Amino acid sequence: MAAHGYAAQDHARSEPTTVRIAATDDQTWALDADFLYERLDRLKPVGKHYVHRIRLLDLMSDLLLVAGVLSAFFVAWWTIIPLVGFACIQRVSNRRMAGELAGEAAKESTEAFLYLYNSGALWLDNAPTRPALNRARRLRSRSLF
């Protein structure tokens, strides 16, 4: 089983960040990483250290934002651009990490799998994780792998 995270490709629709867990070639489980990131208390029964890790990385991205604003005043005006960019990238990766950590926990523990399924963060996805061998099925597949 493998866990893969990807951001929504169509920017007109705001689809959630989804992490897929491959059970078999034809069966895929999907985790909503945005749901878990917005409600970190749902991630606590899976692993308390996961919540602490995500909050620590969020604090680091906040510090990058503050450093960007301060460096614009004291160093040069353009130093805010890379620091805010790094802070935004850090936030997006934190959101994806919440889903990937929950996916790893769901693969390792049946209790974590059932908890995530009953909380609504985990569902059965119809798209296969690996592209099918025949071309017709590959064209119908929504999978990016």
**What tens digit of pLDDT does each residue of 46-66 get?**
888 999 999 999 999 999 999
Residue 136 lies in a domain: no
Residue type, 55: R
- Whether 40 shows a pLDDT value over 60: the answer reads yes
pLDDT, tens digit (0-9, with 9 covering 90-100), for 68-119:
999 999 999 899 999 999 999 999 999 999 989 998 888 888 898 889 889 8
Query: For the chain, what is the domain count?
Result: 1
Residue 144 lies in a domain: no
**Domain of 16, in residue numbers:** 3-130
Of the pLDDT bands very low, low, confident and very high (cuts 50, 70, 90), residue 131 is low
Residue 137 lies in a domain: no
DSSP 73-137: HHT-GGGHHHHHHHHHHHHHHHHHHHHHHHHHHHHH-HHHHHHHHHHTSEEEESS-SS--SSHHH
Name the residue with tokens 């460096």: 71
